[in-house]
Structure 1
Amino acid sequence: MRTRLIKTDGLVQQVLEAGFETDNAPLVLLIHGFPELGVSWRAQVQALGEAGCHVVAPDMRGYGGTEKPEGVAAYSILNLVGDMVDLVQALGSQSCVVVGHDWGAPVAWHCALLRPDVFTAVVGLSVPFQPRRPKGPPTAAMAAISRRAGLGDLYINRFQDPDAHRALDADPAVALRKLFYAYDGATPAEKRATGFLPEGVDLLGAIDDGATLPPWMSARHFADYVKAFSAGGFDGPLNWYRALDLNWRQTPFVQDQRITPPALFVVGENDPVRHYAGSAEAGLKDWVPNLTRSVVVPGAGHWIQQERADAVNALLLSFLGGLQAAKA
C-alpha cells in the first residue's frame, strides 16, 4: 500500500492505493464516510490489492489530506460525484467499480446513478440508496417524522446548525472515541446510538462518557484519526449534511430514476442507521433492479468494513469475481 497526492481538475486528493490496473483487474474506488478517512479501508486496500485489483481509497473532500473548500455549496452531491469522476480520470482509467460506506454510500449510489458509463458497478455499505423525495427537501421531512414519533431530533437535523462542528472541534479525541463507540456492534445495545437526540442534549452528550475504543480500533489507528481531525476540523465533514437540501434542489433531473449497474448492499445487523434508513433498505430492489445481493452481517454494527473486515473482503471479492465472470 502507498499514500500519495493526486491533482484532479478541481481538487488535490490524498489517496491510499495498492496494485495497478490491468485489463483483467479494473479500478476499484473506496469512498469513506463520517467521521472516517481513506485509512478506514486499509484491510480492503490490502486484500483487493493482493487479489490483483488496482484499489484506491481517497480522503474525501473536507477530510484528512485532501483539500477542504469553504462553504456548504462546495459539498453538494454533484461536487462529491464530480470529485470521483475526476479521480478516475486522473488515475488513467475510463471506468471503475465504486464502493461506499456511510456517507460514502450515497456518493457511490449517485456515482452509479449519474454516471453509469464510468461507474459500472456499485457496492453500498451500511446506507441504502434513498431516492429523491418528490414532495420537498429532506431535512424538514426528517424533522416532522421525528416530532410525530416523539423521538427527539435526528442528529442530521442538529448538524444543520452552522456552529454544530464546534462541539466536535473542542476535543476531537473525545468526539471520535464517542462516535466510534456509539455506532459499534460490540457496544452494549442500551449504549448504542439511535440517531435521535432528546431536547437540550447534543450528540456527544447523548453518548456515555465512559466510551472506549472499539475492539478493532488500535491506539495507533485512532491516533491517525485524531491527528487528521485536529488539523482539519469537523466543519467540512458536517457540510456534507448541511448540503442535503441543496442536493434536493440541484437534482430534479434524477427524480424517479433507477440505478442500473450491478450492485451489492451490505449492512451490519446492529447498525444504528437501520433505525432511520430501514424503510429504504427494505425497498432497495425497487430502485436498484440489478441488486445481486443484500447481505446482513450478524452482530456487526456501523463500521462494518473495519468490524468485519474478513467478511466484507470476501463479499467484495465474490462480487468482483461475478463481474469478471459476466464479462468473460
Structure 2
Amino acid sequence: MTETLKDLPLPDGIRSRLIDNGNGLSMHVLEAGFETPGRPCIVLLHGFPELAFSWRKVMPALANGGYHVVAPDQRGYGRTTGATAMFDTDLDDFNFPNLVRDVLGLISALGYHSVAAVIGHDFGSPVAAWCALIRPDVFRSVVMLSAPFAGPPTFPFGTASEHALHEAGDTALNEMATVLAALDALDPPRKHYQWYYSGADANEDMWHAPQGMAAFLRAYFHVKSADWPENHPHPLAALSAEELATLPTYYVMEKDKSMHETVAPHMPSEEQIASCAWMPERDLDVYAGEYSRTGFQGGLNWYRCATSDAHTAALKTWSGSTIDVPACFIAGSSDWGMYQRPGQYEAMRMRACSNFRAVHMIEGAGHWVQQEQPVTVANRILRFLRQDAFGF
C-alpha cells in the first residue's frame, strides 16, 4: 500500500519530485529554476535534523540568479526511499564515498556532467567537501555552511626512516577517545553528542520524546539559533575535556540525559514562538510530520560512521588530498558549530582547501543560518559564484 504524503508548503517556483539516482535510491528532490533549459546547476545538501525543505528560502533567490537549484532529501532522510534506515544496517551505505555517489547519480540523472557548485550545511557540509575533493571535475566549486572541513584522515609520514623527524598521521579519533574518557570523569560527568547520536538509544529517545515531536524539535531548533541568548561562540583553546565542557549542553551533554531532556528546559515561550519568523508553526509542522513518520535513525547512521574507526580508516584512501576547486565558508555569528572541534576551522582554511576564497559570518544567525538569514546567505553564495569562484 502506497503511503499518501501531504504536499509540502513550498514557495512559488519550487517543485517536488522523485528521481532514481542509480545508486539504490528514489530521491525526493526540490527544484527551482527548472523552467529554463541550459542553466548551470547548484546542488544543496542539508544536515541533521533537517531536510531538503531547509533550503526553501534560499532556492528562489539562487534560481533568480540564473541557476537550476536542486535540493535532495539525502540518504536516510525524509521522502527519499531505498536506504535501510535501521540501527543494524550496513553502515558502508552511509559513509562519505557512498554519499558522494548518491549526489553523482542524482546530477547524472538530471542530465549534467558537472555542476557550478555543491553547497552543504551541517552534516551536508562534509558531504559537499568530499564531493569536491573526490570529483573536482564534476563539482566545480564548494560552499560549506556551519561545519568546517579539516581534510581527509592521513597516514603517518616518514615513519620508515630511523633518523627522520616523523610527521604524525591523523589521530583525531584516538585523541577523541582520550577526551571522551576525560569527559566521563568530570564532575558531573559529560558525554559528546556525536557519540550519543551513535548509540542504540538516541533514535528512540528523540522519536518518542515525551514532550512530543513538535515540542522537541521546537526546543532543539531554538537552542541552537541566534534566538537563544546564551549562544556566544568563541574558539576553544585545546581539544580537552575541560575546554569541551564549556560548550553548550546540546554539544557536550550531561551523561545521564537524553537529547530531549537536554533541550526541554530551553523551550521558547508562546510569545517567542509566535515571533519566530524564520520557523513559523507551519514550517515546524513539516519537520515534525516527517520525523514522526521516519524517525531519526537514517541520519544517525551518518554519525555512527563518523565515530567509527573502521569507517574513518576507509577515508585514508584520500590521505594528503586537498580540495582544489574554489571554496567558501559561511556560518552564523551565533553558531558554536565552527568551534566545536578545536583546530578544524583553521585546518580548513590553511591546509584542507588549496583554493580557499572567502569566509562570511552572518549576523543574526545561529546554526540554522540558511533558514534564519536566507536573504543574506543567498546573496553571499551568489557573490561567491559570480566574483570569487568564476570571476564574472
TM-score grouping bracket, smaller chain normalisation: over 0.9
5 Å matches for 1:124-143?
124-134=144-154, 138-139=172-173, 141-143=175-177
In 1: Cα distance, 2:304 partner to 2:283 partner:
28
SS of the equivalent of 2:265 reads coil
**Once superposed, what is the RMSD of the aligned Cα atoms?**
2.2
SS of the equivalent of 1:120 reads coil
> What corresponds to 1:83 in structure 2?
102
> What corresponds to 2:195 in structure 1?
157
1:258 aligns with 2:322: yes
Q: Deviations over 1:228-265 (max 9, x none)?
A: 11111111110010111243122221112110000110
> What corresponds to 2:114 in structure 1?
95
CA contact (8 A) 1:186 1:215 kept: no
Q: Deviations over 1:89-142 (max 9, x none)?
A: 011001111000000000000000111111110000000112234456755532
In 2: Cα distance, 1:206 partner to 1:105 partner:
25
Moved more, 93-102 or 289-298: 289-298
The structural deviation recorded for 1:148 is 3.8
> What corresponds to 2:285 in structure 1?
223
> What corresponds to 1:209 in structure 2?
265
5 Å matches for 1:301-316?
301-316=366-381
Gaps of 5+ in 2: 1-13, 155-168, 233-247
Q: Deviations over 1:148-204 (max 9, x none)?
A: 464821100111212321101104323322221121111121696450012212222
The structural deviation recorded for 1:282 is 2.1
- Runs ≥4 in structure 1, deviation > 4 angstroms? 135-140, 190-194
1:270 aligns with 2:290: no
The structural deviation recorded for 1:278 is 4.5
CA contact (8 A) 1:127 1:277 kept: no
Q: Percent identity?
A: 33
> What corresponds to 1:111 in structure 2?
131
Question: Which amino acid counterpart does residue 188 of structure 1 have in structure 2?
Answer: P
Instruction: Indicate how the Cα distance of structure 1 residues 85 and 160 shifts in structure 2: closer, same or farther if over 3 A, else same.
Output: same
SS of the equivalent of 1:28 reads strand
The structural deviation recorded for 1:8 is 1.4
The structural deviation recorded for 1:272 is 2.2
Instruction: Indicate how the Cα distance of structure 1 residues 193 and 312 shifts in structure 2: closer, same or farther if over 3 A, else same.
Output: farther
CA contact (8 A) 1:128 1:277 kept: no
Which structure's CA Rg is the greater one? 2
In 2: Cα distance, 1:58 partner to 1:158 partner:
26
**TM-score under structure 2 length normalisation:** 0.78
> What corresponds to 1:27 in structure 2?
41
> What corresponds to 2:19 in structure 1?
6
The structural deviation recorded for 1:144 is 2.2
Moved more, 67-76 or 78-87: 67-76
Give the number of equivalent residue pairs: 326
Moved more, 207-216 or 25-34: 207-216
**TM-score under structure 1 length normalisation:** 0.92
